[in-house]
């Protein structure tokens, strides 16, 4: 997806504007909200991040909350989940990470301490379920 590479390059030099489509991050982000995405040196659990997802030819940029990291196919991968989604997304390689959402139209902070703790708790629950199999 050439568009992704171009947007990733732009986000490295400063925030890039994007429009949210869907309700997976409701109520924090809703359909039609404009957000700004920028690269970061470090991504922490609880951050709202943008990444490339979907099969080849049908890729899209998704904005979800970072739960943590895990090994996937021998490499470190990101684990994310929409705030309104019932399950985590499939893990994806770090190279698919576009950046962190740095601003949005609402008054609520993007990653308050409570959201960071909830992200870590969701990640730990997922790990426990995987280990219990």
What pTM does this model have? 0.86
Residue that wins the pLDDT comparison between 75 and 1: 75
pLDDT in tens, 96-114: 999 999 999 888 888 888 8
Q: Is 15 exposed, middle or buried (0-12, 13-18, 19+ CB in 10 A)?
A: middle
Nearest to 7 by CA among 66, 59, 69: 59
* Helix residue ranges, H only, 31-109: none
Q: In this predicted structure, what is the pLDDT of residue 7? A: 77
Nearest to 95 by CA among 117, 123, 73: 73
Q: In this predicted structure, what is the pLDDT of residue 1? A: 55
Q: In this predicted structure, what is the pLDDT of residue 15? A: 92
CA separation for the pair 110, 112 (Å, rounded): 6
User: Domain 2-132 maps to which CATH number in 3.40.50.300, 3.90.600.10, 3.40.47.10, 2.10.109.10?
Assistant: 2.10.109.10
Report the share of the chain in percent with pLDDT over 90.
Answer: 59
From the CB of residue 31, how many other CB atoms can be counted at a distance below 10 Å?
12
Question: Residues 36, 50, 2, CA angle at the centre, nearest 5°?
Answer: 95
pLDDT in tens, 30-68: 999 999 999 999 999 999 999 999 887 888 899 999 999
């Amino acid at each position: 997806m050439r568009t992704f590479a171009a947007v990733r390059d732009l986000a490295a030099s400063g925030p890039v504007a994007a429009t949210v489509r869907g309700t997976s991050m409701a109520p924090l982000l809703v359909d039609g909200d404009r957000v700004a995405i920028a690269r970061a040196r470090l991504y922490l659990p609880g951050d709202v991040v943008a990444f490339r997802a979907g099969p080849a030819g049908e890729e899209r940029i998704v904005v979800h909350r970072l739960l943590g990291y895990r090994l996937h196919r021998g490499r470190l991968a990101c684990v994310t989940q929409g705030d309104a989604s019932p399950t985590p997304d499939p893990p994806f390689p770090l190279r698919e990470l576009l950046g962190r959402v740095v601003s949005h139209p609402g008054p609520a902070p993007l990653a308050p301490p409570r959201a960071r703790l909830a992200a870590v708790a969701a990640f730990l629950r997922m790990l426990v379920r995987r280990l219990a199999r």
